[in-house]
Amino acid sequence: MTKLPDHVLIPKHEVVPTKEKQELLSKLNIKKKQLPKILAKDPMIKHIDAKVGDVIKITRKSLTSGESVYYRIVVD
């Protein structure tokens, strides 16, 4: 059986460090609550040990641009 993060359909998930989080929010000129949400009970969030309030960087493969990056905030 394939492990969850190794599955071909699961994009790379990683917790954004605090310093980078502040830079990201400043660059986008938004507040944390304006980010799209991802539930704390999501299997990948549990796997990377993310906590409520963490910002997650999701890197997906894209046919047109090669790679696309999305950000989500962990909520209950």
| Full set of structural domains in the chain with CATH | 4-75 (3.90.940.20)
Nearest by Cα to 7 from 74, 68, 62, 61: 61
Residue 15 to residue 55: CA distance in whole angstroms: 6
Instruction: Map tokens 């980010």 to a residue.
Output: 35
pTM: 0.85
* Residue-level pLDDT at 13: 94
* Paired strand residues for 15: 56
Express each pLDDT in 31-76 by its tens digit. 999 999 999 999 999 999 999 999 999 999 988 989 999 999 999 9
Contact criterion met (CB below 8 Å) for 14 and 47: no
Contact present, 71 and 58 (Cβ < 8 Å) = yes
Find the mean pLDDT for residues 14-21.
94
